[in-house]
Amino acid sequence: MKLLPKFLAASLLAATCAFAQEQQAEPAKKSDFGVGVRGAFNYTTMYGLDNDWNVYGESDDTPPNGLGFEAGLAVRLQLLPFMQFTPEVLFNYAKLTQDDGKMERKFKQMGIEFPLLLRITPIDKLYLAAGATVELNVSDEAKLESGVMENAAGKFEHDFPEDYDRKTVQLAFTFGVGYNIVAGLTADFRMNMGLNDVYEGESLLIDLKGGKQMTFKFGIGYWFM
């Protein structure tokens, strides 16, 4: 009977070791739901303008463009082993300028973005993302900083009245590629192709009708869970 306690103890120890080895052999299962944060530096320009959008400028003048940033929250929903739905809520700010040597304008934009993206992981750590983005305009300012005109009497500066307002809703198609650096930490590159006109209004000097925004985004994300 003295051997029974020793036999039970040895059996319990062996079972514990076997269970521990089995747990180590099985990879950790990723949660079907996650919450994280994302931030990005952005470069925005405009496309779709007519060739003569700048009335007194050259046909190859650079349209309004500039830098900005965005930051906010993201949610991850696992749909399939290789597919995730990742909606986000982001605050963004951009400051665009347009300077053709005669006129200098500044366009300031603030908005709330709602990217609705699907992520597909074709190979380990690398993922592709695509979907729609809806942006609500929070604040905007379009201002003619300075203008230098020239006539028979010579050059002179004048502030021309301009009336441009950014439309309330912007729609875009978003696609990009990302990489899981370490567990929870990702880096990505995205491109937003605007689907509707950005500004409404008029000016005697420029015509922004048909102008849509294109934004390149370099971002970092982190999943808390």
Encode the chain (225 residues) as per-residue pLDDT tens digits: 454 445 444 554 454 454 445 444 444 455 789 999 999 999 999 999 988 888 777 767 889 999 999 999 999 999 999 999 999 999 999 999 988 777 788 999 999 999 999 999 999 899 999 999 999 999 999 887 777 666 666 666 666 667 788 999 999 999 999 999 998 999 999 999 999 999 988 787 888 889 999 999 999 999 998
DSSP assigned state of 205: S
Kindly state the DSSP code that residue 47 receives in the 8-state scheme: E
Contact indicator for 151, 174 with CB cutoff of 8 Å: no
Q: With the CA atoms of 70, 91, 108 and 50 taken in that order, what torsion angle do they form, in degrees rounded to the nearest 10?
A: 80
Note whether residue 14 is domain-resident: no
Residue 36 in contact with residue 73, Cβ under 8 Å? yes
pTM: 0.80
Whether residue 161 is contained in a domain is answered as yes
Would you say residue 12 lies in a domain? no
- For residues 109 and 165, what is the distance between their CA atoms, to the nearest angstrom? 10
In a domain, 171, yes or no: yes
pLDDT at 144: 79
Residue 19 domain-assigned (yes or no): no
Is there a domain that residue 4 lies in?
Answer: no
Q: Alpha helix (H) ranges present in the chain?
A: 3-25
Range of the domain at 60: 31-223
Number of compact structural domains in the chain: 1
- Could you give the CA distance from residue 144 to residue 164 in angstroms, rounded to a whole number? 10
- Tracing tokens 């015509």 back to the chain, one arrives at 207
Q: What per-residue confidence (pLDDT) applies to 203? A: 80
Amino acid 104: pLDDT: 84
List the CATH number of the domain containing 97.
2.40.160.20
